[in-house]
Chains A and B, each alone.
Chain A
Amino acid sequence: MHSLLPLPFFHVWSYLQTQPLLGLTATLVTWEFAAAIDRRAGHKPFTNPTVLSILFLACALLITRTPYAAYFNGAQYVHFLLGPATVALAIPMYANWQAIKTHFTAIMISLTAGSITAALSAMLIARALGAPHEVLISLGPKSVTTPIAMGIAQNLGGQPPLTAVFVMLTGIFGTIICTPVFKLLHIRDWRAQGLAAGTAAHGLATSRMILLNETAGAFGGVAIGLNGIVTSLALPLLVSLFGF
């Protein structure tokens, strides 16, 4: 690639690769572009702007042979905001506090059971199919919202970028199958639908629930935050218990 460029462009390109400006700008431009595609397509699960942006930027890095570290030099300023954004999840959780209090026992039992089922079945299946330790650990928090999932993976010795991919795949798959699954199993209660969507497939499936019913959306929001906390506590125990 480099040798194909005329010399002045090569100098500019090499200079930009050492600066944060290009990585940060590329992230924002790609996001705006992907968000526009998603709007035009009417917010389909497979036009999710996060997934599209990752796809576009990953292809751009591979084609231009830019090392990930050079890109992250700029993108780290966006990445840093995941921390305060995770803390900010407390505000929507507070907004649904009344609903959490009324159904506290039912929510905690259903959510913990579903959360452990999803994490454990994923890790057991992957282990049976020969996936190594690092992949299993990265797979464990896949049902949790991305910032929390990556933190959990990091703490347990997994690969946060791998976890980010698994979280996206789970979100897309969960969003597509949730309504058919609820029909199949006769789950008609909106509270149960929302909680299940938020627990098994985090914000991606919850954003679909919000479109269908307000109560379902609220319970999905509750599930995103609570499942982050429950998985943070339960996954280290599961990992040592089952020797992943």
Chain B
Amino acid sequence: MIRALMILLLCQLAGTIVQQATGLPIPGPVMGLVLLLALLIWRGGPDPDLHATAGGFMKYLGLLFVPAGVGVVTELQELKANLAAIAIAIPISSFLGLAVTGLLMQRLSRGRKHA
């Protein structure tokens, strides 16, 4: 578990260093994700330790959002002031996102066998 955590943190650190050095708008952890994915493809998959630790993170991913989400208490004024914009923008854009992705993917992958 500690070795797996070390690998994850090293990837995050490398990604963050690249982000800070280049000023690219991609968050450091996302660059770390890409780096780890490249490593996994190169090495042929995660070892059991990394697999188990990542599984633990995935299982409790929902918990990790909580502290930031509670930050909503500092944004209540902003939410209230823009209630109509938010209440209309989120449903319509979610519908459009689902429709465009789904229709295109169904059309483009038609006839190809299931992976």
Chain A CB within 8 A of B114 CB: yes
CB nearest neighbor in B for A165? B72
Q: How far is the CA of A61 from the CA of B37 in the complex (A)?
A: 39
Contact string, A174-199, partner B, CB cutoff 8 A, digits 1/0?
10011001100101111111011101
Tell me the residues in window 88-145 of chain A with beta carbons closer than 8 Å to chain B beta carbons. 88-94, 97-99, 102-103, 105-107, 109-111, 113-115, 117-119, 121-123, 125-126, 129-132, 134-135, 139, 142-143
B96 at the interface (CB under 8 A from A): yes
State the CA gap A165–B82 with chains docked (Å).
Answer: 13
User: Which chain B residues have a beta carbon within 8 Å of chain A's beta carbons?
Assistant: 5, 8-9, 11-12, 15, 25-30, 32-34, 36-37, 40-41, 45-46, 50-51, 53-55, 57-58, 61-75, 78-79, 82, 84-86, 88-106, 108-110, 112, 114-115
Report the number of A-B residue pairs with Cβ-Cβ less than 8 Å: 347
Q: How large is the interface on A (under 10, 10 to 19, 20 to 34, 35 or more residues)?
A: 35 or more
A30 to B70, CA, bound (A): 12
Q: Please pick, from A27, A87, A117, the residue contacting B12 in the complex, using a CB distance under 8 A.
A: A87
State A110–B8 Cα separation when bound (angstroms).
30
Q: A129-B89, A151-B30 are in contact. Are A196 and B66 (CB under 8 A)?
A: no
Out of A61, A72, A169, A232, which one reaches B27, CB within 8 Å?
A232
- Determine if A107 and B69 form an interchain contact, defined as CB atoms under 8 angstroms apart: no
Closest B residue to A144 using CB positions: B30
- Report the 9 A-B pairs with minimum CB-CB distance, sorted nearest first: A161-B71, A151-B27, A114-B101, A118-B97, A200-B97, A75-B67, A196-B102, A122-B93, A106-B108
